Structures are given as structure tokens and as C-alpha cells.
Amino acid sequence: MKKTVLFFAIIALIGTEVAGQKYFTRSGHIWFYSEAPMENIEAHNYQSSSILDTETGELGFTLLIKGFEFEKALMQEHFNEKYFHSDKIPKSTFEGKILNLSDIDFKNPGVYNAKVSGTINIHGIAKEVETMGTFEVKDDGKIHSNSKFQVALADHDVKIPDMLKDNIAKIVDVNVEIIYEKLDK
Amino acid sequence: MFFKWLLSIVLIFVSGSYLYSQSILDLLDEEERTDYTIATFKTTRLINGHSIETNAGGVLLFLIQHRFGRLNGGAYEFFGLDNSTTRLALEYGITDNLDIGIGRSTFEKTMDGFLKYKLLRQSTGKKNMPLTLTLFTGIAVKTLRWQQPNRTNYFSSKLYYTFQVLAARKISTNFSIQLSPTLIHRNLVAVKEDKNDVFAVGIGGRYKLSGSFSINAEYFYVFPNQIVSEINGEKVHNSLSVGVDIETGGHVFQLHLTNSRGMIEKFFVTETTGSWANGDIHFGFNISRVFTIVDKTKKKLEEEKEKRENG
């Protein structure tokens, strides 16, 4: 009995000291593409933050709507002022988990396919999503991650006026390109 | 005894780690950023006067302005529509904060040019700035032929200079106000008592009723005892204008009523002869269209791609 308790005591105390393996970036590249009869629109955000816990498979993203850069400055202004109301809802986030964590060996260099599910919050409205992506573990210890999924603007209460229905797609392609580095804490 | 104590410690530790579950997003600690205010006004003009807005770098703005005759001209003059004066102009954003512009008014065949520099930007967050400040300097040349060609006429008599320090604050998403202290220098004035340097202050604002529609108002107060002479037998009044902004895609339509006939500072600040009380009101409009001449995002996309491939 005494030995068992001592054994568990040691395990418990050690357990609380070992931090999860966390990977991090502040310069994640997230961009979207809208294809419509009158014009195609794309915008790039080079400053999204993301964190990956390779131990638990938890994944988080956050970005500023104002961080999206458009070719046309006026379009960027309308995107913020009229459609996404970024002064009231400045951020968009994703919080989720890798479902097939056991298929991925983050310690061994290689390319791994992942299935991720979680909650995406755009324009203040949250939605459950599931998507595929890849994690490429590099020799230098960094993890490159890519994913692609679709967002229906109406799902997040983004209203497009009738006049512009041929300029802005109802469903937009979102691409994610991240290079994670180990977080030293 | 010792082991009972140890057991309780273990249980506390183990239960403790289940008690607080944090969102992984909480670990993304916030780096303080500066949030710059955008879209204080819909375009670079409030009504007659310039707003603090400048064009984005690489963007060209084409502006057509019309002011019609006086409404009290009556039905015969079709309430002023028979008698219109026009200005055409181009404004270009050299950078996000520096604009250069050129224009020509049919009124007295006047050419004008200006530079506009955004010195301060309203922001919150890491850098806190309560207002946006834009400096404006313009020159106008009256290109009408001399009325008395046999007199000794000086080219400098045709020149007018404007200096403004435009200061505005976006108070809420829908409401912005601006103060426009102005100095107009006229090389030639009608009588000795008229001042060559005229000081005035403009005050104006806009209230947005929807994403695409706002109501605007503007008033320029000229300090007393600077303009004594009359123009065509009429006293000079302060310029007062009210109007609406309608924005659609790349155009901004500004429709308004004003007592000023001219569309550049030297006209509407120092030469407004209409009086609202008399019905000397002109209907007018500004239409602006923006074109992106230089696409800055392509270069950035390539730079970021390179960084990614090398990193």
C-alpha cells in the first residue's frame, strides 16, 4: 500500500510538470478566394497566430479581419466597413482537434494527412467544421501545415447586396499555410 | 500518517488538473497591435472642402463636379439647372499618406493643383491617437484673359494660394466630424481694405445612415473684417452646404445644396455671394471614381512566398 501510494505520488507530480509539446506561429498565411462571373477576388493575411499541441492534438487559430490585404484598397475598406464590421468584430478564430492524432508522428520527419474538426468563428458566428489537412515534419524541427476548406458567407451572417451577387461568391475557398516552430516556455 | 498526507496531496494535484480546462486559444497571448481608424469619410471631399482622407498609394481618383445656378432663378432658369459650372480633376495617391491633384474649373477658367499630406492617423491600441490630421496646400490660377489688356497686368495677380490643417475624428462607426482651419492668400484684391490673407475655419461632419449612405454638412466661417468689397453688387457670405453621399462599388455620388458656386477653396471660402435666407441655393454634385494603378499586393505575395521557401 505504502509503495503504491508513493509510486502514484511520484507519477502525479511528474505528470503535472511535463508541458505539452506546443508549436506556434505569429505569421501564418491565410488567404481566401472568391470566384464569381464578374470578377475573382482574393485577399491575403500574413499575420495570423496559431498554436498546435502535438501531445493532445489541439489546434487554435486567430486572425485580425483588418489583416486581410486586397489588390484594391477600396475593396479592402468595404470588406472591413460594410461586410465584416471589423470595428465591432475584429477577429476570426478556429479552435479544434486533430481527430487522427495517432496516425501522426510529430517526432519523425515526413508528410502526414490529418483530419481536423472544431469550431470556426467568423463575423461573430460560430460553426462546427471538419476538414482535411497535411502536416509535414521537417528535419529542422519545424512543422509545415496546409489546409483548404470552404466557407459559406451566409452561414456567418455576411450580407452581400443583390447588386453585387455576380461579383462575390456565396461560397469562398479558404487556404491555410503555416510554418510552426517549437514554443520554448 | 505521512502516507495519508501524501495521498491527499496526490489527489489534490490530480483533481486540480481536471478542474481548469483552458481553451488552446488562451495560450495565444495577445501582442498589442495598433488599430488604425479607416473610412472616416467616404471620399476625399466632405462637400466643397477636402476631407482628411487621402487616396491609397497607387490609386487614381477621377472627380467630376457640377454646381448649377440658383434655385431662386425660378422655373424660367429651370431652378438653376440651365446655368451650370463644372470642375474636372484627377487625384493620385503617391503613397498611402501623400496625394497630388490637379483640376480645372469652368468658373473663371481656373486651373488648380494641390498636395495633401496625412500627418497623423487616428488609432487605438499600442499607439493612441485621437484624431487624423492632414495638411493641405493648393494653388489656383485664373486663366481668363485680362479685362484691360492695355494696363500693366501681373501674372501673379492671377494666383491664389490655400493652406489648410484638416483635423477629424471618427467618433463612432456612423459619425465623424472635421475642423478645417484655412488660410487663403490672394495676391490681388479688389480694394485696399480687403485683406490679402483671409483666415477662416471650416466645420463639418457626416452621419452614416447605412453602409452606403450618409448625410453630410459643412460650414466655413470667415473671420470678420477681412473681406469688405462686394462681388457683382453682392456681399460675401460664409459657405454653408448640406448633402448626401451615396456609395456604390467604386463610385461615390455626393449630392448637395450649397450657397457657393465655386468648387475650390478660393471660391467657396472667400467668394461665396449666395445667401440661404434669400434662396440663393445651388444644387450640385460630385462624382468620384477610383482606379487602382499600382497593385502593391502582387509584390508582397512574391516576397512572402520567397520567405516561406527559404524559411
pLDDT (average), residues B112-140: 97
**pLDDT over 80 at B21, yes or no:** no
Give residue-wise pLDDT tens across range B40-88. Answer: 999 999 999 999 999 999 999 999 999 999 999 889 889 888 889 999 9
Q: Give DSSP secondary structure letters for chain A.
A: -HHHHHHHHHHHHHHHHS---EEEEEEEEEEEEEE-SS-EEEEEEEEEEEEEETTTTEEEEEEEGGG-EESSHHHHHHIIIIIS-TTTS-EEEEEEEETTGGG--TTS-EEEEEEEEEEEEETTEEEEEEEEEEEEE-TTS-EEEEEEEEEEGGGGT----GGGTTTS-SEEEEEEEEEEEE---
Q: Name the grid cell of A54.
A: 502535438
Contact B294, B58 (CB under 8 A): yes
State the pLDDT at residue B18. Answer: 47
pLDDT, residue B95, reads 95
User: Residue B183: is its pLDDT beyond 80?
Assistant: yes
Q: Is A185 on the interface with B (CB under 8 A)?
A: no
Q: What is the pTM of this model?
A: 0.85
Show the cell assigned to B78: 429651370
Q: Which of A5, A31, A64, A72 to mutate to test the interface with B (most CBs of B within 10 A)?
A: A72
pLDDT at B302: 84
Q: Are B162 and B266 in contact (CB under 8 A)?
A: yes
CB contact under 8 A, B173 and A22: no
Distance in angstroms between the alpha carbons of the first and the last residue of chain B: 58
Name the average pLDDT for chain B: 92
The phi, psi pair for B272, rounded to 5°, reads: -80, 120
What is the model's pLDDT at position B295?
A: 86
From the list B260, B297, B262, the residue with the least C-alpha distance to B86 is: B262
Q: Which of residues 6-65 of A touch B (CB under 8 A)?
A: 6, 8-9, 12-13, 15-16, 22, 24, 26, 29, 44, 46, 49-51, 53, 58-60, 62, 64
Which of B7, B24, B304 minimises the CB distance to A58? B24
DSSP B149: T
Is residue B197 less than 8 Å (CB to CB) from chain A? no
- Checking if the pLDDT of B5 tops 80, the result is no
Name which residue leads in pLDDT, A54 or B17: A54
Record: contact A59-B24, CB cut-off 8 A:
yes
Average pLDDT value for residue range B133-156: 93
Q: Give mean pLDDT, residues A171-183.
A: 94
Across the interface, of B25, B297, B308, the residue whose CB is closest to A95 is B25
Residue A17 has a pLDDT of 39
B205-260 pLDDT, tens digit each: 999 999 899 999 999 999 999 999 999 999 999 999 999 999 988 899 999 999 99
**A138/B contact by beta carbon, under 8 A:** no
Please, which pLDDT band fits residue A4 given cuts at 50, 70 and 90?
Answer: confident
Dist. CA A149–CA A86, nearest whole Å: 22
Find the mean pLDDT for residues B146-168.
Answer: 94
pLDDT surpasses 70 at B15: no
CA distance B209 to B188: 44
pLDDT at A16: 47
**What's the CA dihedral at B172, B173, B174, B178 to 10 degrees?**
60
* Residues B40/B46, Cβ–Cβ less than 8 Å: no
Residue whose C-alpha cell is 458656386: B261
Give start and end residues of each alpha helix (H) in chain B: 2-19, 265-270, 296-310
> What are A122-156's pLDDT values in tens digits?
999 999 999 999 999 999 989 999 999 999 999 99
Task: Give yes or no for A5 touching B (CB within 8 A).
Answer: yes
Give the separation between CA B118 and CA B224, rounded to whole angstroms.
30
- Give phi and psi for B150, each to the nearest 5: -85, -10
Instruction: Say which residue the cell 491664389 belongs to.
Output: B160
Q: Is the pLDDT of residue A162 over 50?
A: yes
CA A80-B93-B52 angle, to 5 degrees, is: 65
The Cα B151–Cα B131 span in angstroms is 50
Region B10-19: mean pLDDT is 56
| Grid-cell match 470595428, residue found | A87
Q: Given A26, A93, A177, which is nearest B25 (Cβ)?
A: A93
- Which of B25, B60, B309 is most worth mutating to test chain A (most A CB atoms within 10 A of its CB)? B25
- Mean pLDDT, rounded, for B179-199: 96
Of A59-68, B90-99, B208-217, B294-303, where does mean pLDDT reach its minimum? B294-303
Q: Give B308's pLDDT tier (boundaries 50, 70, 90).
A: confident
Residues 6+ positions from B107 with CB-CB distance below 8 Å? B85, B87, B261, B262, B263, B267
Pick from A83-92, B70-79, B159-168, B169-178: least confident: B70-79
A86-131 residue pLDDT tens: 999 999 999 999 999 999 999 999 999 999 999 999 999 999 999 9
**Residue B125 vs residue A10, higher pLDDT:** B125
Closest among B197, B259, B267 to B225, alpha carbons compared:
B197
Q: What is the pLDDT of residue B155?
A: 92
Is residue A153 within 8 A of residue A76, CB to CB? The reply is no
Per-residue three-class SS string for B154-170: CHHHHEEEEEEEEEEEE
Q: Measured in whole angstroms, how far is the alpha carbon of residue A172 from the centre of its chain?
A: 16
- Is the pLDDT at A163 greater than 90? The verdict is no
pLDDT (tens digit per residue) in A13-72: 554 434 468 999 999 999 999 999 999 999 999 999 999 999 999 999 999 999 999 999
Tens-digit pLDDT profile for residues B259-291: 999 999 999 999 999 999 999 999 999 999 999
